[in-house]
Amino acid sequence: MLLRADQVSKSYRKPGRWLKPEQTTVLKGVSLTIQQGECVGLVGESGSGKSTLGRLLMGIEKPDSGTVYFRNHLVNSTGYQQVRQQMSVVFQDYGTSVNRRYRVKSILEEPLKIANKMASKDFQSHNIRLLETVGLSEKFMDRYPHELSGGQLQRVCIARAIANQPDLVILDEAISSLDVTIQLQILDLLVKLRKEMKLSYFFITHDLLAVTYLCDRVLFMKEGEIIEEVGDMKALDQVAHPYARTLLEAAMKVTGVTWNNHIQKIS
């Protein structure tokens, strides 16, 4: 087992209520597991708590109750730094998730410097390898983020996320703000990396079709709870919960494809 969350709950104080504080419960006892090499999708409407769950799994934030274990280490305990290097995250907003004043090479070197496992003389060759792995060439090394397209910059973010050879990458809407053809290219890249590096993904998205491309299993989230889980992508049209059905039908409507056609295409 790579990751295990047990009964994780989280509340936030409602904004603007400092005199009479009130809490909103965002996650209500969420449990999940991710096996080594597995890709688990998480879909749900905006505000259902997906990103919050992602942050708790990473240890960026602490749950109010419940536990997260990563390879038998309690996330958020003393083993935190060690765990952090085996997990990384790619966000939707590639524009703000990098330092605009850093060149690509410095962006790629950030996690290496934190991990402190590689001699700086090896950074250059490592950077070249990383860029090639994500489909970019050496010539991008000295560019600044504003000199890259959205798709290129997201590739750099993915390269940064795999720089320390993590076991798990959390992809929080990582393809959502790219246009459709670029989304497909990035999805293909993620499929390739997963195979080559034996990565596990926790893929947070609104896009059920992308889930069927990439994931082995999908969890449906509504108002802070996991309301359904589907273990076989080909059986996704069998989802029972009305909310999951609504998401499925919406995905079909947007793309205008029938589910059977789509499944044939991906199998």
Ligand X SMILES: Nc1ncnc2c1ncn2[C@@H]1O[C@H](COP(=O)(O)OP(=O)(O)OP(=O)(O)O)[C@@H](O)[C@H]1O
Closer Cβ to ligand X, 49 or 145, answer by number: 49
Smallest distance, ligand X to C-beta of residue 14, A:
8
239 binds, among Mg ion, ligand X, none (CB under 5 to 8 A by kind): none
> In this structure, are residues 70 and 3 in contact, taking their beta carbons and an 8 Å threshold?
yes
Smallest distance, ligand X to C-beta of residue 64, A:
13
Taking alpha carbons only, the member of 86, 130, 78 closest to residue 104 is 130
Looking only at the bridges linking them, the beta strands covering 225-230 and 217-222 are antiparallel
125 binds, among Mg ion, ligand X, none (CB under 5 to 8 A by kind): none
- Residue 243, CA distances (Å) to 44, 69, 221 in order: 9, 29, 9
Between CA 100 and CA 85 the distance in angstroms is: 23
Q: In the set 41, 49, 145, 166, which binds ligand X (CB under 6 A)?
A: 49
Residue 12 as a binder of ligand X (CB under 6 A): the answer is yes
Check residue 48 and report its DSSP letter. Answer: S
Taking alpha carbons only, the member of 103, 90, 84, 58 closest to residue 157 is 90
Closer Cβ to Mg ion, 50 or 262, answer by number: 50
Between CA 205 and CA 102 the distance in angstroms is: 28
Closer Cβ to Mg ion, 50 or 105, answer by number: 50
Residue 251 as a binder of ligand X (CB under 6 A): the answer is no
Residue 51 as a binder of Mg ion (CB under 5 A): the answer is yes
Between CA 13 and CA 110 the distance in angstroms is: 33
Q: Which one of 45-53, 103-111, 118-126, 150-158 is the stretch in contact with Mg ion (CB under 5 A)?
A: 45-53
Q: Which one of 44-52, 132-140, 152-160, 243-251 is the stretch in contact with ligand X (CB under 6 A)?
A: 44-52
Residues that bind ligand X (CB under 6 A): 12, 26, 44, 46-52
